[in-house]
Structure formats: structure tokens, C-alpha cells
Amino acid sequence: MGHYINTENNIQIYAEDIGEGQPVIFLHGWPLNHGMFEYQMNELPKHGFRFIGIDLRGYGKSNRPFNGYDYDTMADDLHEVIQKLDLKDAVLAGFSMGGPIALRYMSRYKSERISKLLLLSPAAPIFTKRDDYPFGMEKEEVDTLIDQLKTDRPHAIATFGEKFFEKKPSKEFQQWFLSMAVSSSSYGTIHSAIALRDEDLRNELSGIAAPTKILHGKKDQICPYDFSLQLADQLPNAKLVPFEESGHGVFHDEPEKYNKQILEFLQSSSLE
């Protein structure tokens, strides 16, 4: 079943809702939608969990306002979905860009209604390099990508996607993945890239105490594995699980281990 949640700013956010049990809320990466979690959507309800896949504003079936693609606004949208669906004791899972949005929610709302945090190849604590942060893309590289999005968005996204997987997907998988990406709003895609370029979560991490599991591919060319080393060091209650043979798209490169690690975390009362 699907829900359209009206926010206070009259934006409709779509949430796919499948199964029963403890809710697991999935936030997708840039520039995709909740459909990227198909292989978790198929699996989690069989094990007694309620899959909730949210389309962030500008993506999938959600409304597409021109503005509001900063992490604060995205976290506020998420808060309204959680409140209006009355979700409790939920696990919040964020992939890539969904990772920093999940972290911002946790710092902004003090873990309200969330009992565990799952970070999947997260684009955090920062996506781009700084003088005191030598990891990720140069800001100028993101600027170039933004310029390309303005002139030939399908080609820019397809080229970006070539770095996504370590294990080469089938032609059909690539077409499916690209179709998700190009179906997103053009301005939402651009404005989210600006947020990825500029946002910084380092000062928020020490206050996020929820049990956190981080899954990250060691061969990730989009969000370097170093990101998660930083997170594991700075989050008070985090465990990092490396995927030796995976790039950014761990869910495709090592799917069995990926789902096994997710389910173990959901079923366990600790990080061990």
C-alpha cells in the first residue's frame, strides 16, 4: 500500500508501506527513489518487518517543489511522515544522500521514534573535500556535474552511474536504474547536488547515540570508504561492516551479504 502524506507546507510525500511488524524506513540516494530498495522490499516483510520506502521531495511519486532540497527541509518532511503514520520504535536506513538526511533527522529531532540507525554507503559526514577533510570529490567537480545536469541531464547521470557498481550490472539492470534517476525532477536533482556539495554534519555526530550499523563498499568511487571510517570514529555507538568486493552499489555487488547484515541488525538487540 502507498501513502501520500501532506506536510505543513502542503507538499505531498509518498511512502510505500509493505508488511507488518517493526517499521524500517528507507531513504534513497541521489537521484533515485524508493524503488532502488526493491531487493529489501521483497525480503524484509518475510521476516516480520514493515518496509517503508520514502520518496524524498522531487523524486519518485512525491511532489516536486522548486525549493527545499537542503537536509533540514528533507529531515522535516521525514518527521511529518513518521508522525502522521504514527511510526514508533522504527529503524531509519539511509543510502548515500539518504544517509546524511537520516543523520540530520537524528540530530534535529533527538532520535524521536527511532530506535536504530542504518547507514548504507552514506554520503556523510561531508560529500566534498575541505581544507581539513581530504575525502570525497572536489567542490569544483560537483560544480562541473551541476553544469552538465543543466545541459544534458540524462548523459550526466548515466556517466555518473558508471562509477556506481563494482560488479557490472546487466544491460537491463542499467536501464532500470537509469530510468529511476532520470524520472526525478531536474531542479530537485540539481538542488540536491548543491546540498551534497555544501552540507557538513561533523558537529552533529557526537550527539547521535542510537545503535548504528554502517555498511560500506571498500571500492566505492562515489562515497569513499573513508567517509564511514570517519563516521564510525565519531558516532558514539556505531559499528562499521566493510564489503571488500563492493563499490557504491553494495546492494547489487554483494546482495546476499547485504541483506544478511541488514536482517542481523534488525533482529539483534545489540551491535554484535
Give the span between the Cα atoms of 148 and 32, in whole angstroms: 18
| Angle between helices 71-84 and 98-109 in degrees, nearest 10 | 70
Query: Looking at beta carbons, which pairs linking 167-174 to residues 24 or more positions away fall under 8 Å?
Result: 167/245, 167/246, 167/247, 167/252, 167/253, 169/252, 173/252
Q: Cis omega before residue 31 (within 30°)?
A: yes
| Contact indicator for 197, 142 with CB cutoff of 8 Å | yes
Nearest of 39, 27, 36 to residue 255 by alpha carbon: 39
Helix (H, G, I), strand (E, B) or coil at 55: strand
User: Would residue 191 count as lying in a domain?
Assistant: yes
Q: What is the 3-state secondary structure (H, E, C) of 141-179?
A: HHHHHHHHHHHHHHHHHHHHHCCCCCCCCCHHHHHHHHH
User: Would residue 111 count as lying in a domain?
Assistant: yes
Helix (H, G, I), strand (E, B) or coil at 53: strand
Structural domains in the chain (count)? 1
Burial of 184 (0-12, 13-18, 19+ CB in 10 A): buried
Of 62, 96, 107, 184, which residue is the catalytic one?
96
User: Would residue 272 count as lying in a domain?
Assistant: no
User: Would residue 237 count as lying in a domain?
Assistant: yes
Question: Can you give the pTM of this predicted structure?
Answer: 0.97
The CATH number of whichever domain residue 59 belongs to comes to 3.40.50.1820
Does 200 qualify as catalytic in the annotation?
A: no
User: Could you tell me the CA-to-CA distances from 81 to 28, 74, 91, 270 in Å, in that order?
Assistant: 15, 11, 14, 27
Of 121, 248, 252, 253, which residue is the catalytic one?
248
Does 192 qualify as catalytic in the annotation?
A: no
Q: Which residues pair with 267 in a beta bridge?
A: none
Of 55, 76, 77, 220, which residue is the catalytic one?
220
Q: Cis omega before residue 154 (within 30°)?
A: no
Give the span between the Cα atoms of 182 and 139, in whole angstroms: 23
Return phi, psi of residue 176, to 5°: -60, -45
User: Could you tell me the CA-to-CA distances from 6 to 10, 157, 222 in Å, in that order?
Assistant: 6, 30, 33
Q: Which structural domain, as residue segments, surrounds residue 171?
A: 2-267
What pLDDT does residue 159 have? Answer: 94
- β-bridge pairing 2-6 and 12-18: antiparallel
List per-residue pLDDT tens for the chain, 272 residues long: 899 999 988 999 999 999 999 999 999 999 999 999 999 999 999 999 999 999 999 999 999 999 999 999 999 999 999 999 999 999 999 999 999 999 999 999 987 799 999 999 999 999 999 999 999 999 999 999 999 999 999 999 999 999 999 999 999 999 999 999 999 999 999 999 999 999 999 999 999 999 999 999 999 999 999 999 999 999 999 999 999 999 999 999 999 999 999 999 999 876 65
What pLDDT does residue 272 have? Answer: 57
User: Would residue 43 count as lying in a domain?
Assistant: yes
Does 220 qualify as catalytic in the annotation?
A: yes
